[in-house]
Structure 1
Amino acid sequence: MEIRELRYFAAVAEELHFGKAAQRLEMAQPPLSRAIARLERQLGVTLLERTSRSVTLTEAGAVLLSEARSILSAVAAAERRTRQAAQSRPRLVLAVKSGTAGGLLAKLLDAYRAEPGAATVDLLLCEAHQQQELLHNGQADVALLHLPFDSTAGLDSEILYTEGQVAILPASHHLAGRSQVRVAEVSALPELPMARWPDHDGSYPAGPGPEVKNLTQLFQLIALGQATVIIPESAGTDLRRDLAAVPVLDAPPVTTVIAWPPQSRLRAAADLIRVATRL
């Protein structure tokens, strides 16, 4: 199989429409159809079921789509990192979930800028679980992840620090004045259901609370009395006046790590990681 064939197949498999896939690839439809048919003959399997009205993936096609996405992401990452290595002044992309690790991030960037020959660091602010995908597909070189919420599967990482968690409540709520609370007390508030974050596959767990993707959206809902949440202590600093953060005595600790692809050979990334582990 060639990379070009995988790009063709991925486009058709994602669009489930030959015409739309051809437009996306900026090519005519007949050669695209022939390329997919040739790929099926080469593999000896049917990848797509076609009717006059629809295109659907077979089980074999679903497997190839997953593999194709990984391969194409790896190729794109290799292209970007190769060009990056040739630059006279290297650049690094650091992925961080928006609204988290603010204090650490400021210290890290200040300390790294003071290093001789420091690269330019471009911050990529993400929503929940996006950092891992950005590292795997080569759009980011390094990321800050928070365990156990994020996953380091397929990545190398170093632990930076571990912290407790806090409940974020409307400042007027009767629990807001407490010195500490327990998980059961927060999760049992009928008027303030726990907000729901997406899982790694993008789906949301069942529950009455609102679906959220970022802290800005979440804090607005809490201020309006629509939800509550238990989050890492560092994410609950510098809150708006109408919110309160209360330590949760029995919430599991959260560990922040710096992570990177194991195949990375970027000197600038290694320097940033070294600085982070010294903080």
Structure 2
Amino acid sequence: METRELRYFIAVAEELHFGRAAERLGIAQPPLSRAIQQLERRLGVALLDRNSRAVTLTEAGSVLLREGQAALDAVDAADRRTRRAALATTGHPGLVLVTKAGASGDLLPKLLDAYAAEPGAVAVDVLLCGPGEQERLLRDGRADVALLHRPFDSTTGFDTEELCTEEQVVILPAGHPLTSRAHLRMADVTALPGLPMPRWPGPDGTYPDGPGPQVRDQAQLLQLIALGRASAVLPESCRAHLRGDLATVPVLDAPTVTTVIAWPPHSRSRALAGLVRAATGAATRVTGPSSGATVLGTGRGTDR
């Protein structure tokens, strides 16, 4: 299959209308129809059911839509990484590391400092993003490496090195009656009157239904908590950078959060291997008996 054919098919499969798909692609409808028919003949299967009223996907078409999207994402990612690698030969080498804004506050600067001290270290551009965006940016080639947080981020398809795991705390306005408690449970947190949990945007940019406020970043969230409009459950490392008008209480039954460094499995970058080694070493130095976090990384790095 050609990438052009895949792009044509995906446009039709997503629009379920040849006219709209042709307009989206900027081509006439007849050559689009011929390209889809040629693809079906080559594969020997029907991808679309067509009648006078509608276009629908067959089971085979649904599979090709899913697999084709992944294939084109991989092609686009290869394009971006190839162009970035070419910069290394023209005097502009570098890595792009993506992480969620406000996360890994202690680990990130130590990681960058540790890597900068490595022989042959290259420049590292840090890309800060919203919740859940790190995975997408790593998959589509706009980043070389990411700090992800399980169980919230998926690491499927990536090579990873676990750095640390930590418990979670609830952040409340300072002076709230529950801040005097030694610990809470999730049932206590979800039942807090007037302090609903926030709603973060999904991958498509839309917010789920619910009573909590819509938030875009951690700075906005902390401001809402200080105003008595929300509460939030976050990894306990957040405590190091909280303002004086906020307080935390451990949440006993909240899931632990594991920070991992992740990269594409086919990467053979020596610079990336050095960054992974630096990350595992930095995690060892950042976490300790007083932090409540447990170091998980092996520190062995990778040759990928």
User: Which range, TM-score by smaller chain?
Assistant: 0.7 to 0.9
Query: CA offset at residue 205 of structure 1?
Result: 7.3
Residue 92 to residue 24, structure 1, CA distance change in 2 (3 Å): farther
SS in 2 for 1:176: helix
Q: d(CA) in 2 for partners of 1:92 and 1:240? A: 32
* Map 1:120-135 → 2, pairs under 5 A: 120-135=123-138
Letter in structure 1 aligned against 2:12: V
Change (3 A) 1:57 1:124: farther
Aligned residues: 279
> 8 Å contact 2:81–2:142 — kept in the other structure?
no
- Please name the residue that 1:265 is paired with: 268
Give the corresponding residue for 1:245: 248
What is the root-mean-square deviation of aligned Cα atoms in Å? Answer: 2.8
Give 2:10's aligned residue: 10
The match for 1:102 is 105
Deviations 1:28-61 (A, max 9, x none): 3321222122222323333334456654433322
Partner of 2:164: 161
What are the superposed Cα offsets for residues 201-234 of structure 1, whole Å, 9 maximum, x if unpaired?
9897776444555323433443343332211012
1:138, distance to aligned residue in structure 2 (A): 2.1
Q: Check conservation: 1:48, 1:57, Cα contact below 8 A.
A: yes
Unaligned runs of 5+ in 2: 283-304
Percent pairwise identity? 65
User: TM-score scaled to structure 1, two decimals?
Assistant: 0.86
Task: Using the TM superposition, give the Cα deviation of residue 150 of structure 1 relative to its aligned residue in structure 2, in angstroms.
Answer: 1.8
Q: 1:264 to 1:51 in 2, by over 3 A?
A: same
CA contact (8 A) 1:48 1:55 kept: yes
Q: Closer, same or farther in 2 for the Cα pair 1:135/1:172, shift >3 Å? A: same
- DSSP 3-state at the match of 1:252: coil
Matched, 1:144 2:153: no
Q: Give the superposition deviation at 1:166.
A: 1.2
Would you say the 8 A contact 1:70–1:137 is kept in 2? Answer: no
* Separation in structure 1 between the aligned mates of residue 60 and residue 30 of structure 2, nearest angstrom: 23
Q: 1:42 to 1:236 in 2, by over 3 A?
A: farther
Question: Is structure 2 residue 190 aligned with structure 1 residue 187?
Answer: yes
How far the C-alpha of 1:79 sits from its partner, in A, is 2.4
What is the deviation of 1:180? 3.6
Letter matched to residue 176 of structure 1: T
| 1:46 corresponding residue in structure 2 | 46
5+ unaligned residues in a row in structure 1: which ranges?
none
Alignment of 1:72-111 (within 5 A): 72-86=72-86, 87-88=88-89, 89-111=92-114
Maintained 8 Å contact 2:98/2:128: yes
Give secondary structure in 2 for the equivalent of 1:175: helix
Give the distance between the partners of 1:162 and 1:272, measured in 2 at CA.
Answer: 20
Is the alpha carbon distance of 1:269 and 1:24 closer, same or farther for their aligned partners in structure 2, counting shifts above 3 Å? farther
Structure 2: which amino acid aligns with 1:82? T
Matched residue type, 2:67: E
